[in-house]
Structure 1
Amino acid sequence: MPDLVLEKSCSARILTTDKVEEKESGGLIGGFYWTALNMGFTQGSTFLAAILVARLLGKEDFGKFAILYSTLLTVSSIAQLSIGTTATKFMAESLPHNKGRAGRILGFSASFALVSGCIASTALAALGPFVADRMLYAPEMGKLFFISSGFVLFSVLGAYQAGAVMGLHGQKALGIFAMPAGLFHVGALVLGAMAWGIVGVAIGLLGSAVFRWILQAKVLRSESTKRGIGHDIRHAWDERAVLTRFALPAALAGLSTLPALWIGQVLLAKHATGFEAVGIYTAGNNLRTMILFLPLALNSVGTAFLNTHWGARDAVRYGETFWKNLGLTAALLIVGVGIIVMFAPQALSVFGQDFSSHSAEVVVALMALAALPEGLAVSIYQIIQSRAKMWTSLWLVAMPRDITFVALAFVLTPLHGAVGLACAYLSAQLLSLLAVTGITWFIGVKVTKALHGF
């Protein structure tokens, strides 16, 4: 395996291709602009839809909506097996010098997403009534799981599409199509709630996922054709090593994380205040998501460029991209957390008058503070991801963080309700930041060792 000293011996063609891709996509800042626009419409539409649904349904049905949506996202995340992240990394890494491999990665990702999505959707439709009756003690939710089960299939397909487009540095195209997708999401959920209540919201979630899948399919076809890359289904199995070396450990981390969050919400639903407490916690969680959406947009672009620089053997840009990304992330987080903490009562009021209380303000403050270590950990984690140290991150980051969250949730939620669950979340994110920083310090930021290919 050749040394990656990244000096004059590196191929001029590879470095030139790397520079061309960065120029065409607008670099880190240009990509950030379009990704922020994309995530702004996506997260903004999710946030706006949550507010409007809360006002239309009330706290109890909004709590049911939160459980439904959380369950759909959990199942989708498990079914994805991190195929979106995998597509981003290996499409970006292969783009400068190996478009044949990029086509095989594209074919493998598409095939896997289709099969996995179908299996997961069918499983949710079949097991949804059991989960609703035996775990949530809300048998009426079984119908909701069945109606919206198709959301999982199109969510998995959409994840591979978005990941591949990011790896192709097609942030601009995703940003342009984000507005109609976001508007459709809000309209589908609101009209569904007005027409058929919580059942209509479930139908709206399915319709929104289908519409986004259609738009992203057009974007992926355009971006891949422009770069001369097609879906190589015939030789896709040649890239199966990415499953065991990268996708599987990344997916196991997701298998740990989202179910842990779901368990926390279920514990809260069983609290004395029931779904009302879930509604308050969800409001705080939505505000945390608002804080994170710009840092996450920046880091999704940083991930693509770090992997492209890694594949192109460009040590200088690799380091520059990491430190610039980390500095901008920290600045965005500090501003966002400060605004939400200072204006917590006003932020809560947008969900409705019955969401305003001292305990709800405490929940918002705790969830906002949790965004700081969470966002910093995401930024520093880019080094671990670009080196494909996914098994290390699973055992030393994801598992300790999620076990800590669930353990603290079991202890604190029965005692303090939504405030206790928010404390558990903050504690888990602080532990995650310490673990990610330690691993990154150990493997180092400088790229001076061998390139670990597949």
Structure 2
Amino acid sequence: MLNSVKTLYSRQSDDLKGLVKGVFWSLFGSVLSKALVFLSWILVARILGRESYGEYGLIRNTVLMFSAFAGFGLSVTATRFVARYINEDVAKSGRIASLTLSFSVIMGLSISLIVFAFSDVIAQSVIKDARLATDFRIASFILFFSALEGAQTGVLQGMRQFRRIAVINLVNAFVSFPVFVAGAYYFGTTGSVVALGITTMVLCIQNQAAIYSFAKKGLISLNFRQGWKEWRLLYIFSLPAALAGIISIPLKWYTDVMLVNTSGFSAMGIYSAAFLIYTIVAVLANTMNAPFVSFMSGSKADNDVIEKLNILVPWFLGIMIGLPFLCFPEAGGYLFGKEYQGEEFNSTLVFIILYMIIVMYKQGMNRIFIVHNMQWINLMTVTAWGLILIGSFYMLKEYASVGLAISYCISYTLVTILIYPLYVKRKLMPLEFIISRNVLTIWGTMALAAYLSLSRVHWGYRIAAYVGIMAVVVFTFKNMLKSKVKYNLFSHE
């Protein structure tokens, strides 16, 4: 078996070999590190309880919202353009890396100071809980490190240093676990926020050390003064990428605030716990996102295998990880403890998993936007998604966390359908991936699994359904991978 795999690997193109190595190291580091991080998050949720974990979840989401402003789309910019020029023009790739790093410092400091100054306003006037003002002041410092970390990671991904990233993530996971657990246990919500800041800072230090070590070896040439010669990238690529985050994340945050104001922090705690499952899968998918974007940006050759893997792997990964929770949402309740168990959590988790699978389905499509420099179009779809999300939840807010989860499903489904004509018109996606027997089979099985869980069908029947659905999914994806249909992802520039 091992010899067969080696033989198959040796026959592939250099691009595909590089992609396989990149994905392997990204997943290796991510699976090990995120397993520890996920375990620490579960323990934090159990230690804090629904109410306090809801507070922490809202603070963390607030950090993510302002990180979208501070990050300015620099991570994906670095990944895209450092990868493009790293082998052709080392000086240019170095200028791009220098630009993204220096601009991330400027944006990070600026947004951090603004949030620090308005922490009382955010806590009292928006969240309507003055107790959280101190936590928001602490969280403001995280924004600087978060912005810098995004740019640093983008540079390393653009250089295709996935093995080093894997090591960094693993080290950070071992640091994060005791820090998060101790922070939550001894200092509650505030301790958890401080722990988030410490782990983000440690990650920044490791990333910067790695970048400087590669610069000393001559793999990249950093020149922060010369870097500003590439400022046009900030408008052409970073700005629309940043605006997509600046628009979407505040809209998501607004729905979080709506949930807290209508149903309290307890409902937010249930939603945050259920959303952790999505977060883990999204992180795993993003670890594959970097190798795909890097190799697709730097490759000049057609490779139908990479094109299909780009589209199919995230969707397959999302289904494989999400299906157990879709069929048995009670398992999630047992993970987080008695406070979270019940129909509200189970139903919330089912819709969160459905949303996650839809997101993973569109993950490959999003990479097409990046590779084809279609970020402005992506911005429009993100704006539409956010507005539909708010409108949907406004009508469903009486259903608390379940209503918010359903709203995510509705908004992402509608936006995905709305963008289909563009992909077809520009021949960026074959109809086979949009509407075909294979695609309809997958969605049909996902709908069946969700129906069985929401209808509280006996677990014995759900076990049988789970086994059958798994077999159908594997068989269907195998057929799609073997298909001779061209995906045309490399026909760019």
Q: Normalising by structure 2, report the TM-score.
A: 0.82
Q: Is 1:407 the counterpart of 2:391 in the alignment?
A: yes
| Alignment check: 8 A CA contact 1:380 1:436 kept | no
Q: Say which of 48, 54, 73 aligns to 1:57.
A: 48
Q: Normalising by structure 1, report the TM-score.
A: 0.88
Residue 368 (structure 2) aligns with = 383
Letter in 1 for 2:327: M
| Alignment check: 8 A CA contact 1:35 1:175 kept | yes
Residue 401 (structure 2) aligns with = 418
The correspondence of residues 9-408 of structure 1 with structure 2, limited to 5 A, is 22=15, 27-41=18-32, 43-226=34-217, 228-272=219-263, 274-309=264-299, 313-314=300-301, 316-317=302-303, 319-395=304-380, 397-408=381-392
Please give the root-mean-square deviation of Cα atoms over the aligned residues, in Å: 1.9
Q: Say which of 416, 421, 424 aligns to 1:441.
A: 424
Q: What is the rounded CA distance, in whole Å, between the counterparts of 2:60 and 2:32 in structure 1?
A: 18
Secondary structure of 2:229 counterpart? helix
Letter in 2 for 1:193: A
Deviations 1:203-237 (A, max 9, x none): 21111111111111122223444453121212212
| Alignment check: 8 A CA contact 1:70 1:262 kept | yes
Q: What is the rounded CA distance, in whole Å, between the counterparts of 2:197 and 2:382 in structure 1?
A: 30
Q: What is the rounded CA distance, in whole Å, between the counterparts of 1:36 and 1:450 in structure 2?
A: 27
- Quote the offset at 1:142 in angstroms: 0.4
Deviations 1:275-312 (A, max 9, x none): 11001111111112233343332222111111111xxx
- Quote the offset at 1:379 in angstroms: 1.0
| Alignment check: 8 A CA contact 1:36 1:293 kept | no
Residue 428 (structure 1) aligns with = 411
Cα 1:407–1:187 shift into 2, 3 Å: same
Relative contact order: is structure 1 or structure 2 higher (C-alpha 8 Å, sep ≥ 6)? 1
Q: What is the rounded CA distance, in whole Å, between the counterparts of 1:43 and 1:324 in structure 2?
A: 23
Letter in 1 for 2:346: E
| Alignment check: 8 A CA contact 2:274 2:332 kept | no
| Alignment check: 8 A CA contact 1:88 1:304 kept | yes
Cα 1:386–1:144 shift into 2, 3 Å: same
- Quote the offset at 1:63 in angstroms: 0.6
- Quote the offset at 1:332 in angstroms: 1.7
Q: What is the rounded CA distance, in whole Å, between the counterparts of 1:448 and 1:50 in structure 2?
A: 39
Secondary structure of 2:336 counterpart? coil
Q: What is the rounded CA distance, in whole Å, between the counterparts of 1:439 and 1:240 in structure 2?
A: 30
Q: What is the rounded CA distance, in whole Å, between the counterparts of 2:64 and 2:33 in structure 1?
A: 15
Q: What is the rounded CA distance, in whole Å, between the counterparts of 1:447 and 1:53 in structure 2?
A: 42
Equivalences, count: 422
- Quote the offset at 1:86 in angstroms: 0.4
Between stretches 379-388 and 329-338, larger displacement belongs to: 329-338
The answer for unaligned runs of 5 or more in structure 2 is 1-12, 429-487
> How many percent identity over aligned positions?
23
Between stretches 184-193 and 156-165, larger displacement belongs to: 184-193
Secondary structure of 1:230 counterpart? coil
| Alignment check: 8 A CA contact 1:81 1:251 kept | yes
Secondary structure of 1:375 counterpart? helix
- Quote the offset at 1:45 in angstroms: 4.1
Cα 1:41–1:75 shift into 2, 3 Å: farther
- Quote the offset at 1:406 in angstroms: 1.1
